[in-house]
Amino acid sequence: GDSVTQMEGPVTLSEEAFLTINCTYTATGYPSLFWYVQYPGEGLQLLLKATKADDKGSNKGFEATYRKETTSFHLEKGSVQVSDSAVYFCALRVIYNQGGKLIFGQGTELSVKP
Amino acid sequence: GAVVSQHPSRVICKSGTSVKIECRSLDFQATTMFWYRQFPKQSLMLMATSNEGSKATYEQGVEKDKFLINHASLTLSTLTVTSAHPEDSSFYICSARENRGSGNTIYFGEGSWLTVV
């Protein structure tokens, strides 16, 4: 079945460090891919998305490229800030006859220290 | 790995009736579960945080009398949409936080499509 696998957390980085959170997926169809972020005490927010192969989603300095050949959608940021501390979720959606379902990874907690 | 099961995955109900959606953690205990709603082409919106054995905490703007949440055990939370109307048609998804000493692992259900006709 469809699934998403993320690297396990927590990930602890110093401010201005480079961030990579790995995400790989398996899907029977042609999914759209998403990264969601959940800041402490808040609900999920869409961070970025990509709907077809080689698309790059970007937002707030974060980037992820849809790699069909490696079935991956790794999240990267060149220089993290303390305010980036949150839980990050990779997700896919495959559209079926009437809507689709979101499949989430387990989440990766990021902690950025000053 | 840990699994969160939602049931039903798809439901159609008549306007004015109530419908219940279940969220179960299958192989772990979850003191805290979350209920989200997703409008078309939008991100998930947190509706409420469900705590086992106590009242749910609702987000601003969410009607607690309309969206009843019960978290009676460490493996089950239910969302009941009362007196449903067509505008309640949406994608509802739950997540559960695994009880562990450290870390913050949250598992999501696959969601439930509600259509009110």
pLDDT score of A110: 95
pLDDT score of B106: 72
Contact A106/B at CB under 8 A: yes
Mind listing the pLDDT tens digit for each residue in A4-62?
999 888 899 999 999 999 999 998 878 889 998 888 766 677 899 998 999 999 999 99
Rounded distance between C-alpha atoms, residue A89 and residue A44, angstroms: 9
pLDDT score of B40: 66
Contact B46/A at CB under 8 A: yes
> Which of A42, A98, A101 has the CB atom closest to B110's CB atom?
A101
* Inter-chain residue contact A106 with B106, CB threshold 8 Å: yes
* Inter-chain residue contact A87 with B91, CB threshold 8 Å: no
* Inter-chain residue contact B105 with A36, CB threshold 8 Å: no
Rounded distance between C-alpha atoms, residue B69 and residue B81, angstroms: 9
Q: What is the three-class DSSP state of B80?
A: strand
Q: Which residue has the higher pLDDT, A95 or A98?
A: A95
Contact A28/B at CB under 8 A: no
Contact in structure between B86 and B117 (CB atoms under 8 Å): yes
Averaged pLDDT for residues B60-64? 92
Which residues does B42 contact at the CB level (< 8 Å), separation at least 6?
Answer: A46
How many angstroms away from the CA of A67 is the closest CA of chain B? Answer: 23
Rounded distance between C-alpha atoms, residue B7 and residue B93, angstroms: 10
* Inter-chain residue contact B46 with A106, CB threshold 8 Å: no
Averaged pLDDT for residues B54-59? 88
Mind listing the pLDDT tens digit for each residue in B70-109?
998 999 999 999 999 999 999 899 988 877 655 456 778 8
Q: What is the three-class DSSP state of B69?
A: strand
* Inter-chain residue contact B9 with A9, CB threshold 8 Å: no
Q: Which conformational region is residue B64 in: left (phi greater than 0), alpha (psi within -120 to 50 degrees), or beta? A: alpha
Contact in structure between A51 and A103 (CB atoms under 8 Å): no
Mind listing the pLDDT tens digit for each residue in B13-31?
999 999 999 999 998 888 8
Rounded distance between C-alpha atoms, residue B42 and residue A77, angstroms: 24
Q: Which residue has the higher pLDDT, B111 or A113?
A: A113
Q: Which residue has the higher pLDDT, B117 or A28?
A: B117
> Which of B1, B106, B111 has the CB atom closest to A107's CB atom?
B106
Does residue A97 carry a pLDDT above 50? no
Mind listing the pLDDT tens digit for each residue in A52-84?
999 999 999 999 999 999 999 999 999 999 999
pLDDT score of B50: 87
Contact B72/A at CB under 8 A: no
Listing DSSP states for A64-98 in one string gives EE-BTTTTB--EEESS--GGG-EEEEEEEEEEETT
Q: Which residues of B66-88 are buried (b: 16+ CB within 10 A; e: fewer)?
A: ebbbebeebbbbbbebeebeeeb
